[in-house]
Amino acid sequence: MADFKLIGQSFAPQDLVAKITGRAKYAEDFRAEGMLFTKLLSSPMPHCRVRSIDYSAALELEGVVAVLTPDEVPQEEHPFEPALTNEPVYEGEPILAVAAVDEVTAANAIELIRVDYEPLPFVLNPLDSLRPGGPDANTGGNVYNGREITTLKWDQSVFDGVGPDQMPIGPGTEEDQWEYGDLEAGFANADLVIEETLYCQSVSHHPMEPRTSMAYWQNGKLYMHGSAQSTAQARRAIADRVGVELDDVFFIAEYCGGGFGSKIRGSVLEVIPALLSRKAGRPVMMRITRAEETMMGRARPGMLGHARLGMRRDGRITALDLFLVQDNGPYSRQGDSSTSGDVSALGYTPEAMRASTVSVLTNTPPRAAQRGPGGVQIVSMLAPVVSRAARQLGVDPLQVHLVNAPNHETEFGRGPYPITSAYVTEALTQCGELFNWSERRQRSGQRNGSKVRGVGMALSPYYGGTSGWDGLVVIRPDGKLYIHQGVGNLGTHSVVDTAKAAAEALDFPWENTEVVWGHSSRHLPHSSSQSGSQTTHAHTRANWVVGEFAKTLLQELAALELGGSSSAYQVSGGRVFGPGGSLTFAQAAERAIARGGKFDGHELPEDINDMTRTSATALAGQGLVAAAKDNLPHTARTYSFVVSMIELDLDLETGMHEILNVTSVADCGTVLNPRSLIAQGNGGVIQGIGIAQSFKWAIDPTWGVHLSKRIEATKPPTMLDIPTELIFAAVDLPDPQNPVGSKGIGEPPVGAGAGALVCAIEDAMGGQHPSHQPLTPDKILSIVENDCLPCGRLETHV
Amino acid sequence: MAVIHDVMPAYELFQPTDVEGAIALLNEHGESARVLAGGMDTWDWLKDRTKRVTALVDLAGIQELREIRATADGVDIGALAPLSTVVKDPEIQQNYSVLAEAANKVATPQIRNQGTIGGNVSQDTRCWYYRAGWPCYRAGGNICYANTPASLNREHAILGADRCVAVSPSDTAPALIALDARMVVQNRSGEREIDAATFFIGPGTDIEQMTVLRTGDVLTTIRIPNAWSGASFYFEKVTDRKSWDFPLVNVASALRVEGGVIQDARIAVGGVAAKPLRLFRVEQAIIGQPANEETAAAAGELAVRGAEPLRLNGYKVPLMRNLVKRSIRGQETV
Ligand SMILES: Cc1cc2nc3c(=O)[nH]c(=O)nc-3n(C[C@H](O)[C@H](O)[C@H](O)COP(=O)(O)OP(=O)(O)OC[C@H]3O[C@@H](n4cnc5c(N)ncnc54)[C@H](O)[C@@H]3O)c2cc1C
């Protein structure tokens, strides 16, 4: 392994003090001269049409300045989401916005508005929409195929063949079907074939910071303070949504209070303060409340499904037949269920597999990718099926995972897709040792009064990175290295951690490095969104490449200035030195400015993105400016993996559990920053535990109205739900297609935590599988007492 | 007219410094005013704009109402004592630990610092249909949205329902009933003391109220007699997660056991009916019985007799049964 000075060291990110002292400014903390506040009139029902609306009385209220209606915001064709609409497709969807001198006035004004709503048929459970004659969530249909909305109904016979608690299996949408291998032979070769109904609930993202934003205009340019997972990508999205040129948007988001996928490119709601501000001629702040965040924020799509799995006596999975119906929410098509197929194909490498999915529109809050989209759902649904099969065959679940583990040579799924690396056997073995699997496993099923011990595990693969983005660095006459980052700062530290690759490539001391991010006027490169666990991989690559490119420029510059061949010069410790002597970075920056051309950003590489070019051009002449595109080879898919193991006590008299130990091990390539890794890893595992344990929605089936808008009613996990024994480690072996060996790690811990908790609870219940997350005490008790769930097995949002 | 939630409206705030001043203000403003203690329930209603008042009479400035005092025959807890103070009080911890334990299970540390014991027993139900402002029986309408064939009523009542199926949310209430606490209430006409078990009322008595408190009443003191001082206590609360969660069911008990035989008992259960239920029948049945598994199991069965579960809350029957059982025999461990 390469000998790194920065990569692999624990660092505190430089925004830490600002964050813990409360000095960090989030969108809501900004004020501008003459600023107004806006409140939203939102739909009281899940699907309706606004017949008429009279806001004259609202406008007359003292302190009200302007009203923004759907006619004034871009209305794209469904299922693209408008910021305001006359045909709401979910309860809580914004219809109109009022700007006033303060929020109370704006809210009071909304209470003066008269609206005549025409209720339209609505649907909450995707299966209801697939029935013949079932309601459609959108007047255009119930399925979005990526290009247009169409209608998909299953034949009545599909439903007649199954009982109320059995998953009906009809045709999926065409592009969502694939298979490989000989499925029937796989089942024939299996020693056990089991079938299970699958269910995973929809859950809100609920980042700590809601999607608040503040906007104003100056000289025809839009200044937007928002909350986004990427500065570069959000800025582009704002320009598109508001309908202005990219160069006319300044996006300011130095800090983002979490997104989990719900703010990948900011939020469509940012259009509201932007356009209201233009209309009112004054800055407008739109604070989103927690209850609004439940509705207008985003959520993970729930799934209903069916799995048929064949296993040999040695634990090898011979065949997997997977069918999933996804609760898509009302707008753009979610990729989760499709990812679910890939994740199960990679995690269990079945000898033969078929995946069929359909994503159905529903009149429930809009969905978006949520940390491990598709992965969390399938791991938490399928891991218990695998462990149940293992139990029936008398094989140890760890053994099952080892037997089916992918490795570097694995080509998986529908592709079949080669992967860059998979140290899964290593991760499983290390986790087993750290957790003491074989010893703890002995305690499985032990009774202590009403309590039973349960031990479970899960393996969660997830995408680990993209490539092809740009890097941009400047060495200024002050002798410092400025690393420009277009990714966002959403709390993962990757905005800082990935910058280290540039400093590492230049062998430059970190104390003299400045990371530049968070404000588009600071000239940021074209960067990935902070999603799909891509940042670590994508931007260590881009920053390494730009670091190497800066090094080349320094060597060439030194050769020109000092004589000799450029290859005879070395770069280290803030100096370039060789046969003709040496230059400090400060001197090099001055010489670069004097020489101009390719040294100071006046000539730029051809292949960089326009956004990077604009930024680098703005920086030209300020030092040695290097901009480069990541053209390193990336010939296979990059995946990371996390294994989690959980031991718990389940109280059969109350249905409550007490987690005793959670141990997880990641294969995320070389660890960039051990301290960040542990925070991210455990944070993800806890998020997963919360989804398996208590996180949910409740929507009244008769009225389609959400009953758990308050965050305490959605029940994310709390401090006390976190066990004191919480361990996260990594195999720390390099991925060959990343210059520093790293792969992404944001997402896979969530599925591992969720899957391991479900399996541990099932283990404590002697293999009885509740099949309906979250596994709250009511469900546990109903199964213990009556062997059935309190609600329907296919009932959603309950 | 359009509806908007989640924006605190303007209101007038009064901050009297004595009980008489508070009562005078309450009478002056009548139905348009409300008592404000910690605000953890009240502000929810206001911010949601589902209940409208124009004035709040804040009791926080009345120093005497914040104090906890040992008396000759027990302890007097000022209604404004924050829950966290109740948890930490040495006298309560020493002799009436069931109350300290119950108070310590309320919500979160932050809410326990802000919420008061008087507010905790006076708080409204958490039925999510009612709190969302749906025009149900409890809100003066003529339907219960939580009790239809499709309703989401996992959290609702299995006992004592009468049109409304909402439940008592308080964790301290069962403990106070188990301690035979008395509620001291003051109004324009003077002071009265009410037994904790009758302080709480069900929909059959008044469908729009959770307690006997009426406009103009101030709960000043919660008086704990020493009758149960140092008894053998039990409190348990079952929730979906370990903090920041109302009880699905909770139980509190006080037992006097001598020579292995139960001499006297109080058992109360919350989360199963609109009011916390004192289980008189069960208490009678176990007095004179050995304090063992058999008695406990029989008590559990007896406790749930007559339970009428709704669509999604059938689990509360075994849960209440098990909790009552545990309140007599403790959590069984080997
Ligand atoms: C997120 C959340 C979770 C919670 N979880 C729990 C829980 O797990 N268990 C639990 O028991 N409680 C829980 N609570 C409730 C909380 O403990 C109570 O709301 C709180 O104790 C109410 O007390 P308060 O002092 O804030 O009262 P307020 O909100 O100020 O008052 C509540 C009501 O009582 C009336 N009132 C208050 N004091 C008096 C008085 N002295 N005289 C006359 N009337 C009075 C008020 O007018 C009002 O109607 C939770 C609350 C929240 C917001």
DSSP symbol at B301: H
What is the pTM assigned to this prediction?
Answer: 0.97
B179 CB less than 6 Å from ligand 1?
no
Question: What Rg value do the Cα atoms of chain B yield, rounded?
Answer: 20
List, in order, residues 6 or more apart from B112 with CB less than 8 Å away: B82, B83, B84, B87, B103, B104, B106
Query: What pLDDT score does A12 carry?
Result: 86
Query: What pLDDT score does A90 carry?
Result: 98
Q: Cα distance from A2 to chain B (closest Cα, Å)?
A: 46
B111 CB less than 6 Å from ligand 1?
yes
CB contact under 8 A, A449 and B9: no
A608-619 in b/e form (b: 16+ CB < 10 A) is bbebbbbbbeeb
B120 CB less than 6 Å from ligand 1?
yes
Interface residue B329 vs chain A (CB under 8 A) = no
Q: Give every strand in the sheet of A624-629, ordered side by side.
A: A513-516, A481-484, A470-475, A624-629
List, in order, residues 6 or more apart from A205 with CB less than 8 Å away: A259, A260, A261, A262, A297, A298, A299, A300, A368, A370
Q: pLDDT digits over A524-535, tens only?
A: 999 998 888 899
- For residue B122, CA distances in Å to A329, B69, B78, B196, B248 come to 40, 21, 14, 11, 19
Q: Residue ranges of the alpha helices (H) in B115-210?
A: 117-122, 128-131, 172-178, 196-199
B42 CB less than 6 Å from ligand 1?
yes
- For residue B80, CA distances in Å to A247, A630, B27, B191, B213 come to 58, 64, 20, 17, 16
Residue A504 neighbours by CB distance under 10 Å: 22
Mean predicted lDDT score pLDDT of chain A: 96
Contacts of B154 in chain A (CB under 8 A): 778, 790, 798
pLDDT at residue A588 above 50? Answer: yes
Average pLDDT over residues A633-638: 97
**C-alpha–C-alpha distance, residues B69 and B77, integer Å:** 6
Q: pLDDT digits over A370-403, tens only?
A: 999 999 999 999 999 999 999 999 999 999 999 9
**C-alpha–C-alpha distance, residues A695 and A201, integer Å:** 9
CB contact under 8 A, B325 and A778: no
Average pLDDT over residues A162-185: 92
B132 within 8 A of B50, measured Cβ to Cβ: yes
B169 CB less than 6 Å from ligand 1?
yes
- In ligand 1, the atom with minimum distance to the C-alpha of B102 is 11
Phi, psi of A186 (to 5 degrees): -60, -45
**C-alpha–C-alpha distance, residues A675 and A10, integer Å:** 5
Nearest residue (CA) to ligand 1, atom 5: B107
Among chain B residues, the shortest Cα distance to A287 is held by B7
User: Tokens 């986004």 identify what position?
Assistant: A228
- In ligand 1, the atom with minimum distance to the C-alpha of B237 is 8
- For residue A651, CA distances in Å to A445, A725, A776, B238, B299 come to 12, 19, 12, 11, 20
- Asked, as a colleague might, if the bond just before A777 is cis with ω within 30 of 0, I would say no
DSSP symbol at B245: -
**C-alpha–C-alpha distance, residues A398 and A393, integer Å:** 13
**What is the B272 CA–ligand 1 centroid distance (Å)?**
19
DSSP symbol at A417: E
Contacts of B242 in chain A (CB under 8 A): 718, 720-721
Q: Are strands A451-463 and A470-475 parallel, antiparallel or unpaired?
A: unpaired
pLDDT at residue A2 above 70? Answer: no
Residue-range domains of chain A with CATH? 28-120+211-286 (3.90.1170.50), 299-465+636-786 (3.30.365.10), 468-629 (3.30.365.10)
B286 within 8 A of B254, measured Cβ to Cβ: no
Question: What Rg value do the Cα atoms of chain A yield, rounded?
Answer: 27
What percentage of residues in chain A have a pLDDT greater than 70?
100
- Asked, as a colleague might, if the bond just before A79 is cis with ω within 30 of 0, I would say yes
Phi, psi of B16 (to 5 degrees): -65, 160
Best B1, B3, B4 residue to mutate vs chain A (most A CBs within 10 Å): B4
Residue B132 neighbours by CB distance under 10 Å: 18
**C-alpha–C-alpha distance, residues A735 and A638, integer Å:** 9
- For residue A333, CA distances in Å to A91, A168, A378, A589 come to 19, 22, 18, 49
**C-alpha–C-alpha distance, residues A616 and A625, integer Å:** 7
Query: What pLDDT score does B334 carry?
Result: 44
First vs last C-alpha separation in chain A:
51
CB contact under 8 A, B315 and A777: yes
Phi, psi of A225 (to 5 degrees): -95, 115
Average pLDDT over residues A240-251: 96
pLDDT at residue A688 above 80? Answer: yes
The ranges of chain B with pLDDT < 50 are: 334
Nearest residue (CA) to ligand 1, atom 47: B35
**C-alpha–C-alpha distance, residues A144 and A361, integer Å:** 8
Mutate to test the pocket of ligand 1, among B6, B13, B62, B123 (most ligand atoms within 8 A of CB): B123
User: Tokens 């009139």 identify what position?
Assistant: A41
B246 CB less than 6 Å from ligand 1?
yes
Query: What pLDDT score does B331 carry?
Result: 73
- For residue A619, CA distances in Å to A473, A524, A553, A556, B236 come to 10, 10, 16, 20, 65
pLDDT at residue A627 above 60? Answer: yes
Residue A537 neighbours by CB distance under 10 Å: 32
Nearest residue (CA) to ligand 1, atom 27: B119
List, in order, residues 6 or more apart from B254 with CB less than 8 Å away: B98, B178, B179, B228, B231, B232, B233, B265, B266
- In ligand 1, the atom with minimum distance to the C-alpha of B218 is 42
Candidates A449, A717, A782; nearest CB to B241: A717
